[in-house]
Amino acid sequence: MKDLKGKTVWMTGGGGDLATSAAKLFLQEGACVVLTVSSEEKIPLTRERYPEAADCLEVVKGDVRILEEMEAAAKRTVERFGSLDILVTCAGAIRHAPIDEMSMKDWQDIVDINLTGTFCACKAAVPFMKRQGGGRIVNVSSIAGRTGRPGNGVNYAASKAGVDGLTKLLAAQLAPFHINVNGVAPGPMKGSMFQRMTPEQQAASGKNVPLGRIGELEEVAWAIRYLVSEEAAWITGAILDVNGGMYM
């Protein structure tokens, strides 16, 4: 694949495991990256992860649920680096519970972050991409959006199903403007939640995966990288499963 020199990437959920893995990959390939994090306190902590990238990295505070804050982050991206070529919506939250134990707050918070947050980021980025004649959007979804996978809450499943629907319809709407919109739907990954498990829990977590193991963050990051590449220029409206064959 061609490198990303001269490209600018804006990522929501910039303090998370997957965003960190993908951002490091983008920076290695010559892109400039703007990361949106949810609080001011996370800005210095996030910067510390990229000691060699000061000239091509910006970290800004922005609540994905608030359109005005996403618009400010998109504007800052263009002001700092001159363009907004790629958007990756990594911001997400999980709060699983059976429906009879789930509060309205549990429902609303997850839908607001996962679905409304994706909408707000896309809405903020699209005007800039239209003006510059094109762009790439990758929305991070989940296998939970299309399966009855045990252990997932209906709030999370519904929010991720919504992300898939948003992605597909937005792809059709934006195709005339040369903006490709795709999704990545990961299965279980070796993020911070996995690292907090006991060795026994870690071993058990891969047993239901047909390929026999939990996914690496880098494997999902490379899927995102492919979808923003020139080689994927004729792909839009797709949801790429990266899950080791785990469809339930």
Q: So which residues are the catalytic ones? A: 156
Do residues 220 and 16 touch, judged by C-beta distance below 8 A?
no
Q: Which two tokens stand for residue 243?
A: 């899950």
Q: What is the dihedral of CA 161, 164, 165, 167, to 10 degrees?
A: 160
Query: Per-residue b/e over 156-176, b at no fewer than 16 CB within 10 Å?
Result: bbbbbbbbbebbbebbeebee
- 49, HSE (Cβ side, Cα atoms, 13 Å): 22
Distances (CA, A) of 15 to 47, 68, 91, 161, 240: 9, 20, 9, 23, 23
Sheet holding 57-61, edge to edge: 57-61, 32-37, 8-12, 86-89, 135-140, 179-186, 239-242
Give dist(CA 171, CA 84) in Å, integer: 17
Do residues 177 and 129 touch, judged by C-beta distance below 8 A?
yes
State the amino acid at position 66 in one-letter form: I
Q: Using alpha carbons only, give the angle 122, 5, 235 rounded to the nearest 5 degrees.
A: 50
